[in-house]
Every structure is written in C-alpha cells, then in structure tokens.
Amino acid sequence: MSKVGIFGAGWVGVVTGACFADLGHSVVVRDVASERIEPLQKGKLPFHEPQLAELVERNRERLTFTLDPAEAAGDAEFLYVAVGTPATYAGDANLSYVWSVLDDLPELTGRPILVMKSTVPVGTGEKVRAALDARGLEHVGYASNPEFLAEGSAVGDFMRPDRIVIGAFESAAGDRVEELHAKLEAPVVRVDVASAEMIKMAANAFLMTRISFINEIANVCELVGADVQEVARGIGLDHRLGPHFLKAGIGYGGSCFPKDASALKQLASNSGYHFQLLSAVIEVNELQKRRVVAKLQKHLGKLRGKRIALLGLSFKPNTDDMREAPSIVLASRLLAEGADVRGWDPVASPGELLNGVEITETVAAAVRDVDAAVIVTEWEELRALASEETRASMRNPLIVDGRNLLDPAATRAAGFAYEGIGRPTSPLDGRPETAEPERELA
Ligand code: UDX
C-alpha cells in the first residue's frame, strides 16, 4: 500500500483521496482553505456528493486532512495535484493554483511522483517538469492521470472507471501510477503526457458536442413535429453512436464543461488553429439556455409582472453545485424581462448568484400563484409535479419542462399546458400539419 498526498480538497481531491483510502492507501489531503479542511477534519463534507460521506467515515484511519503542505508531502510516494483550473478572463485555463502547489512543496528527500489530476491544457506537463527541474527537484517524477468523474456519481466513476489514463515522461513513473490503481478493474491507457492531457480535453469536448448536437436536433424537431426523445432512442441503438449524452435540454453547465470547452478553444487558437466546431458547440449551448424565455412568452405574452417558478437550481441533479448552472442565466433573463422569479432546489443554496430571486423551501411554496413552472434541473422530486394539487395552486397551469422529465400526454391530461424540449408542443398551440394553400385571386 502506498502513501498519497493530495493537494486540493475540492470535489476532485476529496473524492480521489477517499477512494484511494478505500483501496487501502494511506492518504493526506491538503488545502489552503481552513473553511474546507476544518469540516473535513470533523468528518463533514463541504459539498454534496452521494456515497462520499460514508467513504470518508469508513476510512478515517487512513484518510486525514491538513492545512500543512509538509504533512501531505512529507514521505508521500505520490503527490496528486487536484486544484481548480478555472478560466482566466481570456478564456485560457488559469494555472495559478497549480503553480502555488509547486511553491508550497517542502524539501523532498524521497523519489515521489507528482501526478496531475486537474484538467490542464496540453503542454502543462512539460512546463511543470521544467519548473521541477529548475527547483532542483529532478528526482521527483511526473505523470498525468486525468479525472473522468461526474458529479453525483463520482465515487462509482472512480471505483469502476471506463479507463485509467496515464501519461508519463518515463515509463517507470507510469508503472508506479498504474500499480497504485492495481485493485481497479479497467483498461489502462498508457500514453505520453501531451496525449493524456489531450484525451481529457477531447473527451469533454466530444461529450459537449453530443449535447449541443441533440439540442439542435430538438430545436428542429419542434419545428417539424418530431419527438427528440424518440429520435435519441433511435439514434442511440446504433452501436457506432451509443445512447449516452443524447438528452436534449436547456444546455450543459457545471464546473468542467464550460471552462474546459473554452480552454480547448483557446489552446487551439493560441496554437494558430480556429476550432470551428467547438465554437459552434459553445454558442449553441448559450442560446439553448435562453430558449425557455421564448417558450414562456409564447404562452404568456410579455413577462413583465408574471410570476415564474424555477424548479431545480443546481447545474444537474444530485449535486449542490451552482457553477455555470443554466438557472443563473435563466433567472437573470427573466428578471430582465420584468418577471417575478421564485426558485427551489432540494440541496443547492444559490446565495448571491440568484440575487433578486425568492428562494422557497418547498416545491409547493415555489409554484403557489405562479404563471408558469419551469423544470430547470431534473431532480427526482419533480417527477410528481403535474398533480391536482399543483394545478390548483398555480395561477396559470403552464409547465415548461427544460429536461423532458415529465410525460407530455399525462401532464396535459392532468390539465396543464406543457412545453418540453424538442417534443410536439402543447395542443394549446397546435398548428395544422401543412399550411392551407393560399387562394389564388381570380
Ligand atoms: C463532466 C464529465 O462527465 C466528467 O467526465 C468530467 O470529468 C467533468 O465534467 P459533470 O460536469 O459532473 O462531469 O457532469 P455531467 O454529468 O457530465 O453533465 C454535464 C452537463 O451536461 C450537465 O449540465 C447536464 O445536465 C448536461 N447534460 C448531460 C445534458 O444536457 N444532456 C446529456 O445527455 C448529458
């Protein structure tokens, strides 16, 4: 069993640390922020992630948290970097937290390997290698081992990965990182450092491309009367395409996709290449978030003074993460149109991100006397939204289902006007299948 120091007690760092501890390794997670470390030392998570609290509790003996870099790095064989790499104002990845990990490293007497878990632009490994050498740390190895964890299912994603990607400058360092994962059953992809970095960026970009693609298909479906859910099912059965990431909705958000798309676009552009397709993927996503406003206007006319409930505020279910959540764009667009906006989420506390939005404790309180309810995030609790009780309490029974969570026929049968994404529109707005031929004047 190995000793692992992890720098960064964010979501990736804590998941990685807890999972390595569960595999039997001895782990110390270090962060600069006491508001993160102190709750963790008491066994409390500073964010919501299913299964993680149990894992932290179960491995208390092998998993500790500290503010002291020397405690994490002291005799560690692996120094994992799991700090944030947010976008800079220019859209590139901001690597300042990565550099501060290097600055904070104590004197290292053993032969540890610095392992990059954070998503970084291609070329970062080379730079970190040079920086280590410049500091007299030639004896410290370097490897890239990108994370493919999705929030809400991160523990399962770590323990049962589709693949483990390891990029190293020297195969001995790659071998040691591979050994660290020996208990996991998954194909190991051994590549050079630049390719490992690109695998992560390309995988995310491809997932986003699928989402923007199906969202555009959905938008066309609305115009021609097809149902995108059925279309996605039919596409997904083709083994060359597969069923995943074909859920149409109001766009992707989160801590990874938006910033990683921007980082790859800028990386290409800084290298002299205009990544057209990725630019379109990003633009489609921006427009997709705003389409709900037009759907509301179609039914309600001007939104000034109308009351709208946004149901689900986190960027996706099973997380309290509000980063780049479509709810933020939607709320600000609706407020700008003069609507009164209410918001409900079972776990997220949006705080200042949703200034001007009245946050309610329950779905029932959110929908009382509203002109429309918008499903922004597909929380399970919202499956039962189209009830008699909801209808009676709304001022106008309109549901805009931004995640195609509800069954359109059942929702309409329950007395609601229903608008999904890429599905036939509510009969309230039914149109003849073909336009009437214009009469010719004699
Ligand atoms: C993602 C990647 O999946 C993960 O591999 C990477 O390491 C980090 O980024 P995450 O951001 O947690 O993980 O969420 P994910 O489940 O991938 O969803 C991202 C966004 O896409 C969400 O806003 C979700 O609502 C949206 N989405 C996803 C769709 O709109 N349609 C889909 O079919 C799938």
Please tell me the residue having the least CA distance from ligand 1 atom 3. 150
- Give the tens place of pLDDT for each residue, 83-140: 999 888 888 889 999 999 999 999 898 999 999 999 999 999 999 999 999 999 999 9
Query: What residue ranges of the chain are covered by domains with CATH 3.40.50.720?
Result: 3-191, 194-442
At the topology level, CATH places domain 194-442 in Rossmann fold (3.40.50)
Mean pLDDT, rounded, of the chain: 94
CA 14 to chain CA centroid, Å, is: 17
Residues 6+ away with beta carbon under 8 Å from 223:
none
CA distances (Å), 217 to each of 211, 214, 223, in order?
Answer: 10, 5, 10
Active-site residue among 29, 154, 256, 341?
256
The encoded tokens of residue 185 equal 């059953």
| Contact by Cβ (8 Å): 420, 405 | no
- Are 326 and 384 in contact by the 8 Å Cβ rule? The answer is no
CB atoms within 10 A of CB 434: 6
**Residue 427 pLDDT level (bands cut at 50, 70, 90):** low
296 has a pLDDT exceeding 90? yes
Residue 434 has pLDDT above 50, yes or no: no
The span from the CA of 383 to the CA of 62, in Å, is 40
Above 60 in pLDDT, residue 22? yes
Whole-number pLDDT of residue 92:
85
Residues of the chain with pLDDT > 70, as a percent, come to 96
Ligand 1 center to 324 CA (angstroms): 12
Distance (Å, whole) CA 62 – CA 22: 8
Q: Whose CA is nearest to atom 19 of ligand 1?
A: 252
pLDDT of residue 323: 93
Q: What tokens appear for 260 in the block?
A: 């990683």
Q: CA–CA separation, 149 vs 51, rounded Å?
A: 14
Q: Which residues contact 206 (CB under 8 A, 6 or more apart)?
A: none
pLDDT at 438: 55
Residue 190: what pLDDT? 98
pLDDT more than 90, % of the chain: 89
Q: What is the pLDDT of residues 326-373, one digit of tens each?
A: 999 999 999 999 999 999 999 999 989 999 999 999 999 999 999 999
Q: What is the pTM of this model?
A: 0.92
Between residues 180 and 108, the one the model is more confident about: 180
Architecture per CATH, 3-191: 3-Layer(aba) Sandwich (3.40)
380-423 confidence digits (pLDDT tens): 999 999 999 999 999 999 999 999 999 999 999 999 999 999 99
- pLDDT at residue 435 is higher than 50: no
What is the whole-number distance in angstroms between the Cα of residue 430 and the centre of ligand 1? 33
- Two tokens at 4? 């692992």
Active site (annotated) includes residue 221: no
Alpha-carbon torsion angle 267, 269, 274, 279, nearest 10: 60
Residue with tokens 């969202």: 215
Q: CB under 6 Å to ligand 1: residues?
A: 147-151, 204, 207, 211, 245-247, 249, 252-254, 256-257, 315-316
